[in-house]
């Protein structure tokens, strides 16, 4: 896709997007030769569901990667409970680091590392996926900010989504992922190299569209 918007846009732009829910069902992603699943531990049970169209796109994308490099799916669809769990853990941690903060101040800091739980959050609409690259030998490709360490709450608070201080090699690796994802018109989030989406509100905003296909969805 040409010309995705590459600066972070204000969150309230998302609210202007009209959702025309197309009822594309949630599907569980299956491991293939080129798609590895769930190698990164979260502190709650991760799910590997995405909308059917997104699953098909990931399948196509995986076949375009250079030999020896595969996609690794870190997380797809997220339930309201898991979003709430992550928010509560981050909130508690920030508060315990500095008891003098008011709840409002804690919330401002928490929002830098985790999205406030909402039915409209991307991972609850089934079009978003957190992904990275992995070599055939099972070693993760070096993408700079390590998603694994960034998934511990301590590290998330210490290194909120930093992404500029990376080496040329790491930049190149991120570009390998981005280039293949763009062939299927996925949008990447400028603040998180691992977050890609298609069909949801964020996707519409970053591609200058006013409508999208995916709203909140529950697992059957």
Binding-site ranges for Zn ion (CB under 5 A)? 130, 195
- How far is residue 210's CA from residue 36's CA, in Å, rounded to a whole number? 34
Nearest CB to Zn ion, comparing residues 24 and 130:
130
Nearest CB to Zn ion, comparing residues 36 and 124:
124
Q: Look at residues 198, 55, 217 and name the one whose alpha carbon lies nearest to residue 120.
A: 217
Q: Nearest approach, Cβ of 168 to Zn ion (angstroms)?
A: 25
Q: Strand, helix or coil at 174?
A: helix
Q: Look at residues 9, 27, 51, 47 and name the one whose alpha carbon lies nearest to residue 212.
A: 51
Nearest CB to Zn ion, comparing residues 27 and 150:
150
Q: Nearest approach, Cβ of 164 to Zn ion (angstroms)?
A: 19
Nearest CB to Zn ion, comparing residues 70 and 121:
121
Q: Nearest approach, Cβ of 194 to Zn ion (angstroms)?
A: 7
The answer for residues whose C-beta is within 8 angstroms of residue 130's C-beta and 6 or more apart is 73, 74, 75, 76, 147, 192, 194, 195, 196
Q: Nearest approach, Cβ of 172 to Zn ion (angstroms)?
A: 22
Q: Nearest approach, Cβ of 187 to Zn ion (angstroms)?
A: 12
Q: Strand, helix or coil at 19?
A: strand
- How far is residue 50's CA from residue 73's CA, in Å, rounded to a whole number? 11
Residue nearest to Zn ion (CB): 195
- How far is residue 208's CA from residue 161's CA, in Å, rounded to a whole number? 24
Nearest CB to Zn ion, comparing residues 36 and 195:
195
Rg (CA), the chain: 17
The answer to whether 42 touches 36, Cβ cutoff 8 Å, is no
Nearest CB to Zn ion, comparing residues 41 and 167:
41
Q: Look at residues 36, 50, 125 and name the one whose alpha carbon lies nearest to residue 83.
A: 125
Q: Nearest approach, Cβ of 36 to Zn ion (angstroms)?
A: 17
């Amino acid at each position: 896709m040409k010309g995705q918007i590459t600066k972070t846009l204000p969150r309230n732009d998302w609210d202007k997007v009209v959702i025309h829910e197309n009822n594309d069902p949630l599907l569980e992603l299956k491991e293939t030769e080129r798609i590895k699943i769930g190698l990164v531990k979260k502190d709650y049970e991760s799910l590997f569901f995405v909308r059917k169209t997104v699953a098909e796109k990931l399948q196509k994308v995986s076949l375009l990667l250079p030999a020896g490099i595969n996609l690794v799916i870190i997380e797809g669809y997220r339930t309201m409970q898991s979003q709430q769990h992550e928010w509560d853990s981050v909130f508690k941690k920030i508060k315990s680091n500095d008891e003098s903060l008011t709840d409002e101040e804690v919330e401002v800091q928490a929002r830098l590392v985790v999205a406030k739980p909402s039915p409209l959050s991307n991972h609850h609409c089934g079009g978003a996926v957190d992904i990275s690259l992995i070599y055939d030998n099972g070693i993760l490709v070096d993408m700079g900010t390590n998603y694994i360490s960034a998934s511990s709450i301590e590290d998330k608070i210490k290194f909120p989504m930093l992404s500029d201080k990376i080496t040329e090699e790491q930049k190149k690796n991120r570009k390998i992922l981005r280039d293949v994802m763009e062939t299927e018109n996925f949008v990447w989030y400028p603040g998180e190299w691992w977050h890609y989406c298609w069909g949801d509100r964020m996707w519409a905003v970053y591609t200058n569209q006013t409508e999208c296909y995916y709203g909140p969805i529950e697992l059957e």
